[in-house]
Amino acid sequence: MNRLFLRPLLCTLAISAATVSTPAAVSPEKAAATVILDETGVNNLKIATVEAEETVFEQTAFALGRIQPIPEHRAVVSSRIPGRIIEIKSILGTVVQAGTEVLRLESRQPGDPPPSIWLKAPAGGLVTKSDTRLGEPVDPDKVLMEITDLSQVHAVARVPEHLAGRIQPGCTAHIRVSALPNESFEGTLLRFATSADRATGTIDALFALANPTLSLRPDMRAEFSIVLGRRENVMSIPRSALQGDAASRFVYVKDYELPFAFVKVPVQTGAINDRFVEITSGLLAGDEVVTTGAYSLAFAGRGSVSLKAALDAAHGHEHNEDGSEVTAGQKTASTATAQSTTTPSLLTLLSLASNALLLALLIASKRSAQLTPTHTPHFSEPEIR
């Protein structure tokens, strides 16, 4: 009987102990800012991360321009004698070496057949112009082909005049070409043009650019990030990692504990160049920030896995819904509560006992009445004397 009275007290004490000793739960703010995916979700969003680190940060200026051939690297094919074209070996777009036979010309001198000569490329490069057709008459003053050496080209940037004074020959520029979006080029400033454009307020800046694959072609549109200065030990991340608007910037940081979990972290930014953004607060060196897939995470909601399930899988033991660990006190309280719900209460036992006792008394009373004989009273008549 005492145990039955003590059980509710033990349950109360266990619950109180669990309440006191439970570790702090994950804050609602962090839980709301955490996106938890499974491996399939990470692969579908093509999530990629990089470590935030202190690097040399470049201050840059933006400009637009075009790719141009170097004038001194152009050569032409022409004939010293009149005649007509009877064979063409090189056409527009063909890469030729110096001394390669490109055209055969039949002389106007009499003969059977008339004498002919081969015209050879004066320099190696790409055939960028061709004005040749079979049978076409040729005069000595006519340019038949133009060959351009494109192994080096000029990237010509139209720099605003107010920035020209901050750019000196020898400075570098990161150059991107619209036709080659997956490639980036480094150019070195050679010189400025001899005059500025009054209408646009710009001046041409000529950057030397190596082009060993000949993928850069004349008149391609280019974007320039001209390096104006450098600062060391600046915390920076790729621009693709930065999300939000100007008033509320944030990044997604890979959780150091949970797999496939990413936490939305507000940050403050400083300078921004063509590739990186300076982070003045919000990140630590070594934080893994999401680059590819960061924009998609903003629309992933809370993800496809609950916080409790992720913590259970990561730690190998049970957690509460708010992310806190289930303590021994909570387990004891849960067990005691479960046992108390399966053990009959004291009132229930007393009620059952009293009902059984009343039933037994009724049965006993009924049997006793059946066993006792019935005696009918007998009255004798008085004698009359």
Residue type (1 letter), 115: P
Residue 274 covered by a domain:
yes
pLDDT digits (tens, 9 = 90+) for 322-343: 555 656 666 666 666 655 555 5
**141 and 157 share one domain:** no
**What confidence score (pLDDT) does residue 266 get?**
94
Which of 124, 148, 172 is at the close of a domain?
A: 148
| Percentage of the residues of the chain whose pLDDT score is greater than 90 | 57
User: Looking at the structure, do residues 139 and 174 belong to the same domain, yes or no?
Assistant: no
Of 66-75, 142-151, 274-283, 337-346, the one with minimum mean pLDDT is 337-346
Which pLDDT value is given to residue 20?
41
Residue 162 has pLDDT above 50, yes or no: yes
Amino acid at residue number 285: A
Question: Which pLDDT score is estimated for 3?
Answer: 47
> Is residue 105 located within the same domain as residue 172?
no
Is residue 218 predicted with pLDDT exceeding 90? yes
Reduced 3-state DSSP string for the chain? CHHHHHHHHHHHHHHHHHHHHCCCCCCHHHHHHEEECCHHHHHHHCCCEEECEEEEEEEEEEEEEEEEECHHHEEEEECCCCEEEEEECCCCCCEECCCCEEEEEEECCCCCCCCEEEEECCCCEEEEEECCCCCCEECCCCEEEEEECCCEEEEEEEEEHHHHCCCCCCCEEEEEECCEEEEEEEEEEEEECCCCECCCCEEEEEEEEECCCCCCCCCCEEEEEEEEEEEEEEEEEEHHHCEEECCEEEEEEECCCCCCEEEEEECEEEEECCCEEEEEECCCCCCEEECCCHHHHCCCCCECCCHHHHHHHHHCCCECCCCCECCHHHHHHHHHHHHHHHCCCHHHHHHHHHHHHHHHHHHHHHHHHHHCCCCCCCCCCCCCC
Residue 19, pLDDT score: 43
**Residue 297, pLDDT above cutoff 80:** yes
Q: Are residues 144 and 159 in the same domain?
A: no
Question: CA 103, CA 322: separation in Å to the nearest integer?
Answer: 82
- Structure confidence at residue 354 as a pLDDT band (50, 70, 90): confident
Determine which of 72-81, 168-177, 228-237, 338-347 has the lowest per-residue pLDDT on average: 338-347
Same domain, 89 and 111: yes
In a domain, 246, yes or no: yes
Q: What is the CATH number of the domain that holds 48?
A: 2.40.420.20
Portion of the chain with pLDDT greater than 70, in percent: 76
Q: Could you tell me if 186 and 215 lie in one domain?
A: yes
Q: Mean pLDDT over all residues of the chain? A: 82
Does 66 or 380 have the greater pLDDT score?
A: 66
Identify the pLDDT of residue 15. Answer: 45
Q: What is the dihedral of CA 192, 195, 199, 205, to 10 degrees?
A: -10
In this prediction, residues 196-212 reach a mean pLDDT of 94
Sequence-separated (6 or more) residues with CB below 8 Å from residue 234: 54, 55, 56, 57, 270, 278
Pair (124, 136) in one structural domain: yes
* Residue 88: both structure tokens together: 């063409």
Per residue in 226-250, pLDDT tens?
999 999 999 999 999 999 998 899 9
Could you tell me if 137 and 83 lie in one domain? yes
The domain boundary residue, chosen from 195, 220, 245: 220
Q: How confident is the model at residue 300 (pLDDT cuts 50, 70, 90)?
A: confident
| 18, part of any domain | no
Look at strands 101-107 and 83-88 and give their pairing: antiparallel
Domain count, the chain: 3
pLDDT at residue 17, as a whole number: 41
Which position has the token pair 């439970």? 22
Between 370 and 170, name the one with better pLDDT.
170
Residue 300 is part of which domain span? Answer: 28-55+233-309
User: At 190, which CATH number?
Assistant: 2.40.30.170
Domain boundary among 251, 275, 309: 309
Assess whether 142 and 161 both reside in one domain: no
Chain Cα centroid distance, residue 326: 35
Strand 101-107 and strand 49-51: the pairing is unpaired
Residues 81 and 141 in one domain: yes
My answer on whether 88 and 109 are in the same domain is yes
Q: Is position 5 within any domain?
A: no
Whether a cis peptide bond, with omega within 30° of 0, leads into 160 is no
Residue 377 located in a structural domain = no
pLDDT band at 37 (very low <50, low <70, confident <90, very high): confident
**Is 114 inside a domain boundary?**
yes
CATH number for the domain harbouring residue 99: 2.40.50.100
In a domain, 4, yes or no: no
Query: Whole-angstrom Cα distance, residue 263 to residue 289?
Result: 9
Does 357 reside within a domain? Answer: no
What is the predicted pLDDT for the residue at 11? 46
Tell me, what's the pLDDT at 33?
Answer: 79
Query: Based on the domain organization, do 76 and 138 belong to the same domain?
Result: yes
